[in-house]
């Protein structure tokens, strides 16, 4: 299963958006997301990955570092599933430009 995760970066001092929004396509089979059951767990794993990049989190909350906040997680159906549902031609491939 794949998900589109849209997030922004926030200044922890002001709450202002300092970057984004940005959308990443996440494959739930990737080691960082393996075992996630649905969009809520994908959101949690995404924020943990970006907000806890190093051991500084083990010693305290780094107040001066930008924080990533997920705005939306959208499930992206596999083309094989769409074919099974009659919504995509069977055996059709994806063409990339």
The pLDDT assigned to 87 comes to 56
pTM of the model: 0.71
**Where do the domains of the chain lie?**
2-84
Task: Tell me the per-residue pLDDT of 1-49, one tens digit each, with 9 for 90 and over.
Answer: 899 999 999 888 888 999 889 999 999 888 989 889 999 999 999 998 8
Cα torsion 82, 73, 40, 63 to 10°: value is 160
> Would the pLDDT of 77 be above 50?
yes
In this prediction, residue 97 has a pLDDT band, given cuts at 50, 70 and 90, of very low
In this prediction, residue 61 has a pLDDT band, given cuts at 50, 70 and 90, of low
Q: Which two tokens stand for residue 83?
A: 């074919």
CB-based burial of residue 26 (10 Å sphere; 0-12 exposed, 13-18 middle, 19+ buried)? buried
Q: In degrees rounded to 5, what are phi and psi of residue 24?
A: -115, 140
């Amino acid at each position: 299963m794949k998900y589109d995760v849209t997030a922004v970066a926030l200044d922890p001092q002001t709450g202002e958006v300092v970057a984004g929004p940005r959308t990443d396509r996440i494959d739930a089979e990737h080691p960082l997301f393996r075992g996630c059951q649905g969009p809520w767990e994908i959101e949690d794993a995404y924020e943990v990955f970006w907000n806890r990049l190093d051991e500084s989190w083990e010693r305290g909350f780094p107040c001066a570092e930008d924080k990533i906040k997920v705005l939306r997680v959208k499930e992206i159906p596999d083309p094989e599933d769409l074919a099974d549902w009659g919504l995509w031609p069977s055996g059709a491939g994806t063409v990339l430009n």
